[in-house]
Chain A
């Protein structure tokens, strides 16, 4: 008797439970969609970073991460178009804009990425509630300029006449200088110990590497070469010092030995003397 009562109760409760689940599922679909897009973006970024800067190359990786960025960008675009209201209600619209702008940037649609970042900063991301997202949007035009400078460097023939090489160098340096300005603007949006500073510091050193390589590749045999090499090296020393400051003072690494390895690797690539920098002084 009691067993049959329990069974009846269970059968009566099942549709109610399923209804509850359906209600719950329905009201978070925009969050689910954003989460999926964010996961796709994260996977693509991990794959791209490893492919570009890791010590092994994987066949088909470029196609894979490009496709993942594209899928992520499409679904974020659709989310912004269809679900802006519920996303704003849940304080997720700024994050959605940020991911979309970043995905467009990685798909080399730099103008659209910058347009999206400006739109977000003027609207959904105007308030300082999500510091990482806001600072990333401020930095994004700078990140796009680093890519622009990198493209220009790759396409510059080292065999051109000196005037043409100097002209090309000027364009690259202008992109790098502007990029560093945007990165500095982004840093001003952040509190001193925010983890995004690590990323911005890495990007700044990357920009200076383009400058250094451009000096070697384009300015040989000209009077501009040595002063530009010194200027780039000076900028590199400053950037490396800031990076060390972030790693060792503001955001101590989980594993100091790994942080040291990173500092050594960057000191080698930039040609900066770690000894000349002296001991780090944490505020």
Chain B
């Protein structure tokens, strides 16, 4: 009982002490904050008084004597007032004023750059947004100059909201409390500058508390987690502060802050997930030197994904998908720090080129596939596989991320998969986003294991050519009822087979590839109009079709392909498929044996 009373009194004293300090900081932040001031009422738009001043004494005075019409109209206003002009004359003098103003500005070169004139009748954004937002103190004279003090009120409000569900936040020695302190300590010494993106700090605090409440085990277990949080927060803040943020509208700045916050969440999730794959990387990310790693990834994602994410990447891509992108980027840079070297911003370029490539391909086929579902996984595939094959996949050097071979291949394959079926195609189904990603995954996997798939041509890599041929065969020889999932499985099988058996990627004298010809032979044997009824019956089952293709290509991997074997394949399928159908399509081992025997 005594212990309880002491505990209560201690807590009350602590709360009062804390309350005093926090209250002062809160009050300081409110007194310092910029307020938006309303302008008094006045006629802002140029009118006849502006026009007269322009022609009589201003930049347009050369036109006054030279242009009798201008003089006549201006004199009429002076003599009779604005009502002295009829509507047509009013329109005429406004048009003349517009032309002459533009002429004067063009002579002075004032249309160079982005300095566009204000819209007619309005003040500029600079007037309405920036100039009327006024701080209490001028720059460098704020008596409460740190970001933390500036934001104290907001941060306390956020913590109070979470305190009810996480009471251990108030216990200074709890793991979660230490983690939050570490996060805040990262901003302790950051000097406040009016243009610094301070809004990001409360956003990140909220993200951190959200993560802690939903996944308490995620980061709190040891000191490395705390350091990781501190470094990630610092990296994101620096990326936002140092990036190309000037000249943006308020909406664009908000979107950039939301994107940065999404990157912070993704970095925390991605780094902890990457730790399972590469514990050494986790050690690096939580070490002082590791902040470079986080900074480079944060900067690359922030500067390259702005357009694609359109603000909150979690909402656009899904938080798990975006965390996987961050994880892939961390692993890539962790293993190859040169990817993000300051003098060769390859990573930023690669992410930007990938985002632009996906948008370009899918933008030409609107509605075919959802870019926001495709992009994160394509980014992940490109980043993960780049790290493992840097020399082979980047022959043009890290100055040319757009020529990364896997990126080029992925783009071309995506273009083929998004294309509409040609006129007269027998198989007309389209692929879902998940199915497209499965094929792209197989392509990336193959290219990572054998860069020869992508190394031959930068414009049209072999793997893209093969995928186009496979799709062509599926479209022309596939049965109308063949499901798109089965088509994906077939494509994966054939790609892997070609990757393992060199002769399958060779071409006949007629210029057809043996691998795609073999698939055409199988599909014709299953779906051609004249096939026997039992075969047509079993071919209605997608799994049987997949198994047949698997079995045939398993045999072809073992045996080199040539014209004679290809011809034999058609014959042996004519015997083996009815046999398979008559056995209830269950005995694939027997079927494989027959095929193998027939291709000796």
Check B167–A10 contact: CB distance below 8 A: yes
Could you say which residues of chain A place their CB within 8 Å of the CB of B397?
none
**CB interface residues, B 47-72, toward A, < 8 Å:** 47-54, 56-59
Does chain B have a CB within 8 A of A238?
A: no
Could you say which residues of chain B place their CB within 8 Å of the CB of A130?
31, 136
Closest to B104 in A: A275
Could you say which residues of chain A place their CB within 8 Å of the CB of B129?
46
Check A274–B59 contact: CB distance below 8 A: yes
Task: Please tell me which one of the listed residues B42, B127, B138 contacts residue A209 in the complex, with CB atoms under 8 A apart.
Answer: B42
Task: Please tell me which one of the listed residues B11, B39, B137 contacts residue A49 in the complex, with CB atoms under 8 A apart.
Answer: B39
Does chain A have a CB within 8 A of B188?
A: no
Does chain B have a CB within 8 A of A20?
A: yes
Check A195–B18 contact: CB distance below 8 A: no
Does chain B have a CB within 8 A of A44?
A: yes
Check A262–B123 contact: CB distance below 8 A: yes
Does chain A have a CB within 8 A of B279?
A: no
Check B35–A42 contact: CB distance below 8 A: yes
Contact segment of B22-30, B255-263, B295-303: B22-30
Q: How far is the CB of A97 from chain B (nearest CB, A)?
A: 13
Q: How far is the CB of B222 from chain A (nearest CB, A)?
A: 19
Q: How far is the CB of B49 from chain A (nearest CB, A)?
A: 4
Closest to A221 in B: B79
Could you say which residues of chain B place their CB within 8 Å of the CB of A150?
40-43
Q: A195-B134, A206-B44, A254-B246 are in contact. Are A217 and B23 (CB under 8 A)?
A: no
Check B81–A216 contact: CB distance below 8 A: yes
Q: Report the Cα distance A99→B35, complex, angstroms.
A: 9
Task: Please tell me which one of the listed residues B50, B120, B128, B164 contacts residue A271 in the complex, with CB atoms under 8 A apart.
Answer: B50
Check B37–A215 contact: CB distance below 8 A: no
Q: A53-B128, A55-B121, A158-B82 are in contact. Are A147 and B46 (CB under 8 A)?
A: no
Q: How far is the CB of A58 from chain B (nearest CB, A)?
A: 14
Check A143–B40 contact: CB distance below 8 A: yes
Query: 0/1 per residue, A212-240, Cβ < 8 Å to B?
Result: 11011110110001100110010010000
Check A209–B44 contact: CB distance below 8 A: yes
Check B135–A132 contact: CB distance below 8 A: yes
Q: A27-B19, A90-B23, A132-B135 are in contact. Are A44 and B38 (CB under 8 A)?
A: yes
Could you say which residues of chain A place their CB within 8 Å of the CB of B105?
264
**Which of B53, B82, B137: most chain A Cβ within 10 A?**
B53
Check B135–A90 contact: CB distance below 8 A: no
Query: 0/1 per residue, A226-260, Cβ < 8 Å to B?
Result: 10011001001000000000000000011101111
Task: Please tell me which one of the listed residues A133, A158, A255, A269 contacts residue B81 in the complex, with CB atoms under 8 A apart.
Answer: A158
Q: Report the Cα distance A265→B127, complex, angstroms.
A: 10
Give the number of residue pairs across the A-B interface with Cβ within 8 Å. Answer: 295
Check B115–A213 contact: CB distance below 8 A: no
Q: How far is the CB of B166 from chain A (nearest CB, A)?
A: 9
Could you say which residues of chain B place their CB within 8 Å of the CB of A115?
none
Q: A213-B43, A258-B124, A270-B53 are in contact. Are A31 and B27 (CB under 8 A)?
A: yes
Task: Please tell me which one of the listed residues B15, B39, B153 contacts residue A20 in the complex, with CB atoms under 8 A apart.
Answer: B15
Could you say which residues of chain B place their CB within 8 Å of the CB of A52?
39, 41, 44
Does chain A have a CB within 8 A of B171?
A: yes
Could you say which residues of chain B place their CB within 8 Å of the CB of A209?
42-44
Could you say which residues of chain B place their CB within 8 Å of the CB of A54?
122-123, 128
Could you say which residues of chain A place their CB within 8 Å of the CB of B79?
220-221
Could you say which residues of chain B place their CB within 8 Å of the CB of A42?
35-36
Q: Report the Cα distance A48→B58, complex, angstroms.
A: 32
Check B50–A269 contact: CB distance below 8 A: yes
Q: A19-B12, A220-B80 are in contact. Are A213 and B167 (CB under 8 A)?
A: no
Query: 0/1 per residue, B441-468, Cβ < 8 Å to A?
Result: 0000000000000000000000000000
Query: 0/1 per residue, B390-412, Cβ < 8 Å to A?
Result: 00000000000000000000000
Check A229–B53 contact: CB distance below 8 A: yes
Does chain A have a CB within 8 A of B108?
A: yes
Q: A53-B44, A271-B50 are in contact. Are A202 and B39 (CB under 8 A)?
A: yes
Could you say which residues of chain B place their CB within 8 Å of the CB of A91?
27, 31
Check B134–A20 contact: CB distance below 8 A: no
Check A273–B58 contact: CB distance below 8 A: yes
Could you say which residues of chain A place their CB within 8 Å of the CB of B108?
274-275
Q: Report the Cα distance A276→B57, complex, angstroms.
A: 10
Does chain B have a CB within 8 A of A3?
A: no
Query: 0/1 per residue, B68-90, Cβ < 8 Å to A?
Result: 00000000011111111000000
Q: How far is the CB of A203 from chain B (nearest CB, A)?
A: 6
Does chain A have a CB within 8 A of B106?
A: no
Q: Report the Cα distance A158→B46, complex, angstroms.
A: 19
Q: Report the Cα distance A271→B116, complex, angstroms.
A: 18
List 6 A–B pairs whose Cβ atoms lie within 8 Å, in order of A's numbering.
A34-B30, A45-B35, A54-B122, A132-B136, A215-B49, A261-B118
The 9 A-B pairs of least Cβ separation, nearest first, read A271-B53, A206-B42, A20-B15, A265-B118, A220-B81, A55-B119, A90-B27, A146-B40, A55-B122
Q: A253-B126, A264-B117 are in contact. List 5 more A-B contacts (CB 8 A).
A: A41-B35, A212-B50, A212-B53, A269-B50, A271-B50
